[in-house]
Amino acid sequence: MFVVNSFKYFIIVTLFLFAHGAYAAALPNFTELVEQVAPSVVNISTTQKVKPHAGLPPGIEMPELPENSPWGDLFKKFFGDKGAPSEKFDTQSLGSGFIIDEAGYIITNNHVIRNAEEVIVRLNDRREFKAEIIGSDPRSDVALLKVEATDLPAVKLADVDNLKVGEWVLAIGSPFGFDHSVSVGIVSAIGRNLPSENYVPFIQTDVAINPGNSGGPLFNMDGEVVGINSQIYSRTGGFMGLSFAIPMKVAVEVVEQLKSKGRVTRGWLGILIQDVNRELAESFGMKQPRGAVVLRILEDSPASKAGFKVGDVVVDFNGISINRSSDLPIAVGSTKTGSKVKVKVIREGKSRTLKVVIEELPSEEELADSSPDKPSKLNRIGASVSDLTEAQRDSLNIQKGGVYVQKTGKGPARESGIKSGDVILKLNGVDIKNAKHFRSLVKKLPTGKSLPILIQRRTSPIFLVIKIKED
């Protein structure tokens, strides 16, 4: 009996070990892949000049300290003689990147090198180079660097259209400053749209990504880069199983523009949109919820010129099916400016095709000026303005022109007596057409001269004098 039981135990253990060995053999071995691609991955460190926080709180003054007190210099360094910050400080940031050209071109994230005064690139073999920022694109979070070196080990770029959900991927980067750390996982989803990002269809993975991995490459099993590790979803600041990478198809388009002209241009339609849910689809006479419904059409935009109407549901753009509203900005943004494209919309339950000429996407500041709900940033006179709404024009009895003052900050506008709620009608003898026109006039104002500015406060016009101090 003992011999029989022992034999059975031997058979079970043998089968278990065989099955375990077969399972282990089925898992990929990443060692050769890491040896092949690691030399192309770089560590990026930057130096930034950052203003310290505001001085002492209101009502609190610098304490009286003995003349030779060691605390005196410390207080002055951080708060100045009167409690105001007196100087800027260097800060360090760490990220990752990868070499795309043996001539020294390197890709990373825009947020890794944003506001950097100096960028240092360190290779796998410990060599260090000072990098030049060729250009960066905040909207896609891609930046292009250049180092003066030759014969560098460049990565191979993948055709992302062939990427499949479930396939293995590998990341190399510098999480928390630990150079050339390797982590692996699978592709969780493709074409993922994030709420704060309109122009990138992200690759979602479960690869462990942490601060410092930003800008590093995401490889497939063939050693080709499929994406740039860019963001994580986290409630703690650390990895929680959701990582997002910028597809190389998007990155390559950005890099080509940065190389050729130092900036990135995108197509623009000029509409505000939202998703179509089941109830909306039913109300629009649609069989299923899909597309992007138009909420607002910006003035003098390509959409307004093409005859778009509020309530139109965009279901096809230039042959690209629009299933979710997030699909539309990506499709429009990748369209060459000046192109005339066909856009299929559902209007009052019927299908229509509109022809629109795509224009260049304006800057964030210009877009803010074109929307009455979004004030522009404080300009050089310290005023934030927006175009007047129809309701504001009616209540103030203003037929045309003028800009509404949303707020004033420290600067010439406040010093001249301009307040929130005022309407600026004329600046230095020029009638104000709109917020965009106002901003262009402000940029050209001379310094050191007293200039007339006509405002309307409630229903009364008032002339004030504004003066921009010389730098």
Q: Look-up: residue for tokens 């050729």?
A: 260
Q: How far apart, in whole angstroms, are the C-alpha atoms of residue 352 and residue 259?
A: 40
Contact between 196 and 207 (Cβ < 8 Å): no
CA–chain centroid gap for 107, Å, is 16
The H-or-E segment that residue 236 falls in is none
Q: How far apart, in whole angstroms, are the C-alpha atoms of residue 54 and residue 58?
A: 10
Q: What is the DSSP string of 154-186?
A: PPEEP-GGG--TT-EEEEEE-GGG-TTEEEEEE
Q: How far apart, in whole angstroms, are the C-alpha atoms of residue 417 and residue 252?
A: 50
Contact between 463 and 450 (Cβ < 8 Å): no
Q: How far apart, in whole angstroms, are the C-alpha atoms of residue 369 and residue 371?
A: 6
Q: Which of 137, 141, 387, 422 is catalytic?
A: 141
Phi-psi region at 77: left, alpha or beta (left = phi > 0; alpha = psi -120 to 50) = alpha
Instruction: Check if 141 is active-site.
Output: yes
Q: Which of 214, 243, 376, 384 is catalytic?
A: 214
CA distances from 254 to 258, 364, 407 (A): 6, 18, 36
Instruction: Check if 437 is active-site.
Output: no
Q: How far apart, in whole angstroms, are the C-alpha atoms of residue 58 and residue 450?
A: 32
CA torsion, ordered 192, 173, 233, 330, to nearest 10 deg: -30
Q: How far apart, in whole angstroms, are the C-alpha atoms of residue 330 and residue 324?
A: 11
Instruction: Check if 20 is active-site.
Output: no
Which tokens in the block code for residue 106? Answer: 């390197």
Q: Which of 86, 101, 111, 234 is catalytic?
A: 111
Q: How far apart, in whole angstroms, are the C-alpha atoms of residue 251 and residue 253?
A: 5
Q: How many helices, marked H, and strands, marked E, lie in the chain?
A: 12, 27
Q: What is the DSSP string of 49-101?
A: EEPPPP-SPTT-------TT-HHHHHHHHHH-TTSS----EEEEEEEEEEE-S
Give the type of residue at 470.
Answer: E
Measured distance between the N- and C-terminal CA atoms of the chain, rounded to whole angstroms: 100
Contact between 469 and 448 (Cβ < 8 Å): yes
Q: Which residues pair with 169 in a beta bridge?
A: 185
Calculate Rg over the CA atoms of the chain.
29
Instruction: Give the residue numbers marked as catalytic.
Output: 111, 141, 214
